[in-house]
A and B are shown apart, each in its own frame.
Chain A
Amino acid sequence: MKPFSYARPADVAEAVRTVATEPGAVFLGGGTNLVDHLKLGVARPELVVDVRRLTSRAVVDLEDGGLRIGAAVTNAELAADRRVRERYPVLAQALLSGATGQLRNMATTGGNPLQRTRCVYFQDVTTACNKREPGSGCTAVGGSTRNHAILGTPGVLPDPTAAETCIATHPSDMAVALAALDALVHVQGPAGERLVPFPELHRLPDDDPSRDTVLEHGELITAIDLPPLAAGARSAYRKVRDRASYAFALVSVAAVVPGDGEIRLALGGVAHKPWRARRAEEILRGAPLTEHAVRGAMEAELTAAQPQPGVDGGNGFKIPLVQRTVVATVRDLALEA
């Protein structure tokens, strides 16, 4: 644990300016992830800038029928919002499947998608990790990989010493739902506001596993918009884990059927980011959503999957598991109709 300063600026502009000009500064939301990292030495900031009271804590209706969620809205509040439950069940279900009541009361809309991987080596400063310490190598490859990625993994695998090596997964449930909903992220930076489509917020490890998202240092999430869904649209979130609650997903699926012959599928627990199954979506476009069709589409999606061996048995099981889970989720959605 390293001492740090704490600041609570007057407004968003000041907060953004403060963090943007101080390389060692970080934003603090509910603190449920960052504070753990401060204790473990995973995060070693000089300055912690509390933004919890600066952004909106309201969910407001947009003219187009969508919703705007302020970055300070807690996960608990959002999951309980009647409009979210009725119009975006995938999101309410994802939120409620995450963490615990106590954590959801603290966790924020801005902080949740930016929580960091639960890779055990990332969280242990005595082991090498490219995400925590760029260039130090990756202890996860060939180690405990049960919770790790099978999709979008870097080409350098399995070299543990390469700076690009990283098989971490993004742990958020909420983010998987937001990716399937094609949400839009309002980002405030030193140069002004920009909108980032949610599926493009997170990145693959590529050449720099230390970067989880496309956000630049000092960019603040102020709100997230949910685009409108047609009246007949259906959606669901299915999370699979060993323990029935208080566990991160082994795999998860957010499925949205907007009602125009399309299906949107986002997968959790399988990649460095919430994984939009674009290939499967493409195959299924306009097709009847039979079990057979969905299974075939997922097979195509997963041809590139790279199972990881590991000291804990590895994560090859995620390939059949995610396929089965998608098939079941879409089947149950169809039954609902």
Chain B
Amino acid sequence: MPELLDPRAIGTDLARRDGAAKVCGTATYAFETPVERPAFAHIVQATVPLGRITAVDTSAVDALDGVLAVLTAGNAERLAWTDDRELAVLQDDEVAFRGQPVGVVIAETSELARQAADLLRFTYDEREHDSELTVDHPGLYKPDKVNAGFPTDTAEGDVAGAMATAHATVEQTYATAMYHNNPLEPHATTALWDAEAEVPLTLWDSTQGVHPARSTVAKIFGLERERIRVVCPYVGGGFGSKGTPHANLVLAAMAARALPGRPVRLALTRQQMFFLAGYRTPTIQRMQVAADRTGRLQAIAIDVVEQTSRIKEFAEQTGVPTRMMYASPSRRTTHRVAALDVPVPSWMRAPGECPGMFGPEVALDELAEALEMDPVELRIRNEPEKDPESGKPWSSRNLVACLREGAERFGWADRPPAGHRDGDWLVGTGVASSVYPTYRQASSTATVRFEAGRYAVEIGAADLGTGAWTVLPQIAADALDVPVDDVEVRIGDTRYPRASVAGGSSGTNTWGSAIVVAAGAFRDKFGGDPADGDEVSGDVDQAERDSDHAAYAFGAQFTEVRVHADTGELRVPRLYGVFAAGRIVNPRTARSQLIGGMTMGLSMALHENSVWDPRVGQVVNHDLAEYHISVNADVADVQAHWIDEHDPWVNVMGSKGIGEIGITGTAAAVVNAVHRATGIRVRDLPVTLDKVLAGLP
């Protein structure tokens, strides 16, 4: 058991260190990096969903003044590594999905680059494509494993037997839509290639990890990592879509290499983000749950159908939370994937848990209804003593405390009866659980140096707006036992020691642990009165790591939904979340993360939906006027609370991840509330007004 840090700076409400620069507009983002004489690149996309390019006509572009280069498969450099076909851009004539990059134009201005891109003429030999996911798609297959390395299928006990004999059962199919991450800042890069320089390639890139991005680029271009620098002080949101590089980064580097000495800027347009920046696969979830008279689960099963791109497998681990969430003697989870002629899916906030906490948490509500039992009580009754999947004890598990405190804060006991009407509105309340695993990455290094009377901590971490700029100094201060003002943390540059991706809610856990190791080594070596320039590094792999416990953050979300009795319009007066996520390092930044996650979950419940047109082979509502995300007017009171949880096993800060748990379960809570208001059970997201019209008076 690691010895917990004595929290002094940790737990305080420190204001964001980067806040002033951001609100004053002086924080520089990738695209606006100050460089001399930038050129501008624009990506040209395929307009057929499947086929081969038979001809490229650049004549209209050749006549334009100010166009610096046009790269297509015909003249682009051959890449050293092409196994990842999402990233192997401009290497051949094949078109694997509509919107795939088929060229890039570089020009003196962005307007000119865009104009020239419009004037390029590609001729295609189009083939019939297959881009529609269905529950019985003939191409469904069982992947070797699902994301994060989990087994594809698991089974224990006898689900069919329990379904046949149990007192109450629910067997239903649920569906989540396709979602696009849509961070406010698009994917963008400023790239510079200077063959003479010691570090020839510099990429100022909007990324969730400078080191992982550098490794990928190094491999693709056959360059040594040391010959590349990736810089990213600020990120305008990523939500997973900047967790691994996409085609735009490769194209930006290619464009820069085609124009040595000239910095090149490349940003995706909002529309392009619907083709090239990843997305969450739609999922179809067949659920089976069975319970005895007292509400004890006898079986829980989820069979997931989802999609990937034919050129790259990405198998979302949707069924994984069902493996560990509740106690049940019989359990089954399966994943089947269809490889389609579609863009490449990728990471999106709480991959696995976000879609995977929809079907099960609605099914439990349906079960509670069948049992005539309070859905809060049903969940409490199925609390497992240890992790049902691994058999390990929990590092800490406070779901029940979250449910109880949430119910108390919400006034659950006095909630209005089903179908309650208040004026023009039908009122319903709903609950669902939240969960997210506590991940720590294998490698990250921090350096602590004493500089001019202060402590500089360097680590190539990324702050996607989450608060790393602020939270890491708090951890360093406590580890060094100095006031937080004496610590300066430097992140977002491969010049600093190697750090892991900001993903899987693992950043604070991983980087914080590395910083604590470095700080301890620093004190051991130099004591309390170091000399200027004293420096030491520490690595996360030297931090104590517990593998005997199952570590997760838990939560419960409660919501009140109002459905207009005339029109079916849905509004959410209240959305409350209570979480148990270890020690909260900074309540201010944590609250933002939790509320942000819940808001995104609300958005998934009510609005978000990438409308796929399988005839055309693309998302058709590909801008923010048509792809709706929830706005302030949709919801009145969003509250995130947490219980005081001290997890002795996860790390010396006692902290679990908080970036993703907020989005899990929210959509189920909303659907459950809509059912209580209207009697209509919406099993496919989003819950739009047309789906509840039939339940209105």
Interface residues of A (CB under 8 A from B): 1-3, 39-41, 118, 120-121, 123-124, 126-127, 139, 142-144, 146, 240-248, 250, 311-313, 317, 320-321, 324-325, 327-328
Q: Which 7 A-B pairs rank lowest in CB-CB distance, beginning with the nearest?
A: A317-B690, A244-B633, A328-B566, A245-B633, A120-B620, A126-B47, A1-B114
CB pair A1 B616 closer than 8 Å: no
Main secondary structure of the interface of B (DSSP, over half): loop
Q: List 22 A-B contacts (CB under 8 A).
A: A39-B114, A41-B118, A120-B621, A124-B620, A139-B613, A143-B616, A144-B621, A242-B628, A242-B686, A243-B606, A243-B630, A243-B633, A243-B634, A244-B633, A244-B634, A311-B614, A313-B690, A317-B693, A320-B693, A324-B567, A325-B567, A327-B566
CB pair B634 A1 closer than 8 Å: no
Residues of chain A within 8 A of B114, CB atoms compared: 1, 39
Known interface pairs A242-B628, A242-B689, A245-B633. Does A311 touch B115 (Cβ–Cβ under 8 Å)? Answer: no
B7 to chain A, nearest CB (A): 41
B439 located at the interface, meaning its Cβ lies under 8 Å from any Cβ of chain A in the complex: no
How many angstroms from the CA of A1 to the CA of B570 in the assembled complex? 39
Residues of chain B within 8 A of A317, CB atoms compared: 689-690, 693
Please name 20 further chain A to chain B contacts, defined as beta carbons within 8 Å, in addition to the given A248-B625, A321-B689, A324-B696, sorted by A numbering: A39-B114, A41-B118, A118-B626, A120-B626, A124-B622, A126-B47, A127-B616, A139-B615, A144-B613, A240-B567, A242-B569, A242-B628, A242-B688, A244-B569, A245-B631, A246-B631, A311-B613, A312-B611, A324-B566, A328-B566
CB pair B628 A243 closer than 8 Å: yes
Contact of A143 among B571, B620, B632, B633 (CB under 8 A): B620
CB pair A321 B571 closer than 8 Å: no
How many angstroms from the CA of A325 to the CA of B424 in the assembled complex? 13
Residues of chain B within 8 A of A250, CB atoms compared: 689
A247 to chain B, nearest CB (A): 6
- Chain B's closest residue to A315 (CB) is B690
- Chain B's closest residue to A126 (CB) is B47
- The A/B interface has a contact count, at CB < 8 Å, of 94
Residues of chain A within 8 A of B616, CB atoms compared: 127, 139, 143
CB pair A3 B690 closer than 8 Å: no
CB pair A247 B693 closer than 8 Å: no
Known interface pairs A2-B115, A120-B621. Does A241 touch B612 (Cβ–Cβ under 8 Å)? Answer: no
B437 located at the interface, meaning its Cβ lies under 8 Å from any Cβ of chain A in the complex: no
- Chain B's closest residue to A244 (CB) is B633
Residues of chain A within 8 A of B634, CB atoms compared: 243-244
Residues of chain A within 8 A of B47, CB atoms compared: 126
Residues of B171-206 whose CB lies within 8 A of A: none
B607 located at the interface, meaning its Cβ lies under 8 Å from any Cβ of chain A in the complex: yes
Residues of chain B within 8 A of A142, CB atoms compared: 615
B133 to chain A, nearest CB (A): 12
Residues of chain A within 8 A of B609, CB atoms compared: 312
- Chain A's closest residue to B624 (CB) is A246
How many angstroms from the CA of A244 to the CA of B570 in the assembled complex? 8
CB pair A240 B693 closer than 8 Å: no
CB pair B615 A247 closer than 8 Å: no
Known interface pairs A247-B628, A250-B689. Does A321 touch B567 (Cβ–Cβ under 8 Å)? Answer: yes
Residues of chain A within 8 A of B615, CB atoms compared: 139, 142-143, 311
B112 to chain A, nearest CB (A): 8
Residues of chain B within 8 A of A2, CB atoms compared: 115, 118
A210 to chain B, nearest CB (A): 20
B588 to chain A, nearest CB (A): 27
How many angstroms from the CA of A175 to the CA of B616 in the assembled complex? 32
CB pair A1 B689 closer than 8 Å: no
How many angstroms from the CA of A65 to the CA of B620 in the assembled complex? 47
Residues of chain B within 8 A of A311, CB atoms compared: 611-615
Residues of chain B within 8 A of A313, CB atoms compared: 690
